[in-house]
Structure 1
Amino acid sequence: MSEHEHDEEGYTGPAVLVFDAAGTAAEVAVEVELRGHFQPIDGRFHWYGRVKKNDEVTTRVEGGARKALLRTPTGEAEGALTDQDPWGRYRVGGTSTPPYRIEEPVER
């Protein structure tokens, strides 16, 4: 592995996006594929991935919702929904503890 490659950990499976519009929370069940890595330059964990096509997510994003809480069976984190790909999937990501469990580094 080169010095510029990242050790990426991830999660693929069911999740829930919690949108909070005007103080009214709405939960949307989704399927996600997520990855992430620790970035030593800024000292933070960057996670990102795609939300599988979901008509309710599309309606909310087109209505202006760009931020949501992403919850998986092992964690949750605030994330931003951005570009939609040709297959109707939205990119999601954040810079924080990821919304899934990551393994602790092994001491060497």
Structure 2
Amino acid sequence: MSAEPVAVTPGTSEHEPEESYSGPAIVVHEGGEVAVRVVLRGLFQPLDGRFHWYGRVDDAGALTGAGIRSGAEVVLRTPHGEAPARLNDPDPWGRLRVGALGAPPF
């Protein structure tokens, strides 16, 4: 299932900081962009003092079709912002995991 193209412009949405996001996103990699749907979550870890965010990219087929594989360093853009991230191994349902430390894109 491929996501419909969406206009995702970071910083255009006014909202309170959230601990999760589910919706359209853009994965930017080596100058190319791929529209996807994501489910993201995050939490502040008091032990290391950083915000950890992570989630799943539902449209892994669109990413692999564009040559973006597990282990790739990407920028994930949502209507609320953008952040550098790393794609990780697929889960049993074929969705790529994504995550990073620091300010999330939601």
TM over 0.5: yes
AA aligned opposite 2:82:
E
Q: Please state how far the C-alpha of 1:49 moved relative to its aligned partner.
A: 0.2
CA contact under 8 A between 1:19 and 1:65: conserved in structure 2? Answer: no
Structure 1 stretches lacking a partner, 5+ long: 1-7, 101-108
TM-score scaled by length of structure 1: 0.75
| 2:19 counterpart of 1:9 | yes
What's the C-alpha RMSD, in Å, of the aligned pairs? 1.7
1:1-108 alignment runs, 5 A limit: 9-20=19-30, 25-59=31-65, 60-62=67-69, 66-100=72-106
Following TM superposition, where does structure 1 have runs of at least 4 consecutive aligned residues deviating by more than 6 angstroms?
none
CA contact (8 A) 1:51 1:91 kept: yes
Identity of aligned residues (%): 55
Higher RCO (C-alpha under 8 Å, 6+ residues apart): 2
Q: Which runs of 5+ in 2 are unaligned?
A: 1-17
Task: Compute the displacement of 1:58 (Å).
Answer: 2.1
Q: Taking structure 2 as the reference length, what is the TM-score of the superposition?
A: 0.76
Which of 1 and 2 has greater Rg? 1
Q: 1:40 is matched by which residue type in structure 2?
A: P
**Cα distance between partner residues in 1 of 2:43 and 2:53:** 7
